[in-house]
Structures are given as C-alpha cells and as structure tokens.
Amino acid sequence: YQCFHVIILQLQLDLAEVSRLESTVRRERLKKLLSAEKTKIENEIKQLSAVSASASETKSPPKPKIPTSTITSYAWDQTEKFVKIYVSDLKGVQSLDTSNVSLNDVGLHYCLLIRNLNGKNYQFNVPKLAHEVEIPTYKLKTDMVLIMFKKKQQEKWEVLSEKDKVAKANKENNFKPDIGKEADPSAGIMGMMKKMYDEGDDEMKRTIAKAWTESRDKKNELSGTLNNF
C-alpha cells in the first residue's frame, strides 16, 4: 500500500493549501468553490485511509478488506505527438464513479489506482518512460483505462520504458563488431559464438560445440595436407 500512503500525503498537502486559500478570500463565490473542493479532498482522504488502514480489533467481527490486485500487463502505441498506454481487462470500469479512479505522480513514475471495481481495488504502476513527457491524462473506456502522455519531443519511440531502452542499448553494444586497427575479422564472430554458447540452452550448446569441432578438424586436415607438399 505504499502507493496509497504517498497519495494520502499529497491530498493532505492539497487540503492544507485549500484551507489556507479559503481563509484569505473575501468573495462569497470563491469561498463556496474552495469549500466544495475542501470537502471533496477530505472525502478522498477518508476513502483512501479506509483502504490502507489495518483492521482494528473490535468486539464485533471486522469488516473484510477490499483486496488490491496489481496490474502488470498492458499495451501501448504512439502517434507523432502522444504515447498511449492501454490498461485493459477492467470489466465495467467505464461505469465507475470518476472519484474512484486516480492517476498520481509518485516520484519516478505514475500510479493508476482504481477503487472498488467489482469488489476489488486495482493498482497499475506506469513504468519509468524512455523519454520526457508532459503531465498525463486518462480516459475511462469500455473495460479499459487509456493513459495518454504528450511527448516533449515529437520523435518515434523505439521502446516505451527506460528499462527497455537500456536493455536495447546493451544488446546492440554486445553485438557491435570491433573496428579498431588491430581487429581480427574472426574475433567478432568467435566472441558472438561464445556469447551464444554461454547464454544458450542445451540444444544450442550442442550445435555450437559440433560446429567448433568440425571447424577445428577441417583446419587440422588442411594443415596436414599443406605439410605434405
């Protein structure tokens, strides 16, 4: 429930700021608007606190907690200006009260919270993105939540997350040939074969070992033939 605690803290800061503004304004219309916002924030804090708090010991049986499910699967695509993340398999989410859905900045990533959907809470941690984006928005679609990030630079993304970006760069570096002056043309191939052998399964290792053996035998055979001349 770390995500819940961070959001509650942010809401408490918002509440303090709204209360401060409420005490300074003079116009009645603004006072009513701030009062309504204050009540809304207070209700959100109460709801989240009820979800994250431990069940207290009482004489009567405690109310069962609403279970929280962490969502790990998602899909994404992009346009020239936006990156879109699709969080699906949320039956009936489009009919949920909007106050039960929130998308919050929790530091290095965003956290999507869906409360009390078909008797469960759902949490989705958006991965840290590969490039810079603007503050996201979200929409409730049929059985799905669509999260949209506006790109700061209009360029095509090869991957979505920073983790995948680093992994892609490492993979490309591992297979990059040595182009130095002393480079041995066969060294790069041998290095690649060794890497495939080290990381491969048993079948891959047998295939590579057989290829090495046949290559060595051919070299020995050729060397013996040349020595006879």
The domain defined by 68-150 folds into Immunoglobulin-like (2.60.40)
Report pLDDT digits (tens) over 168-197.
888 877 665 555 545 555 666 666 777 777
Contacts with 132 (C-beta within 8 Å, 6 or more apart), sequence order? 151, 152, 153
| pLDDT of res. 60 | 52
Type of residue found at 118: N
In the block, residue with structure tokens 């699709």: 86
CB 140 within 8 A of CB 96: yes
| pLDDT of res. 17 | 87
Q: What angle do CA 59, 62, 67 make, to 5 degrees?
A: 170
Average pLDDT of the residues of the chain: 82
Q: Break the chain into its structural domains and give their ranges.
A: 2-52, 68-150, 177-227
The domain defined by 2-52 folds into DNA Excision Repair, Uvrb; Chain A (4.10.860)
Q: 18 falls in which pLDDT band (50, 70, 90)? A: confident
Span 136-147, mean pLDDT?
96
Residue 227, pLDDT > 70, answer no
Q: 145 falls in which pLDDT band (50, 70, 90)? A: very high
Tokens of 148: 């949209």
CB 190 within 8 A of CB 179: no
Type of residue found at 163: K
Cα→Cα distances 168→35, 42, 116, 200, Å: 51, 45, 38, 19
Q: What percent of the chain has pLDDT over 70?
A: 79
Cβ-count burial 178-201 (b if 16+ within 10 Å, e if not): eeeeeeeeeeeeeeeeeeebeeee
| pLDDT of res. 181 | 47
Least confident of 20-29, 125-134, 197-206: 197-206
Report pLDDT digits (tens) over 209-225.
887 777 776 666 555 55
Type of residue found at 42: E
| pLDDT of res. 220 | 60
**DSSP-assigned beta bridge partners for residue 113:** 102, 123
Tokens of 204: 């891959």
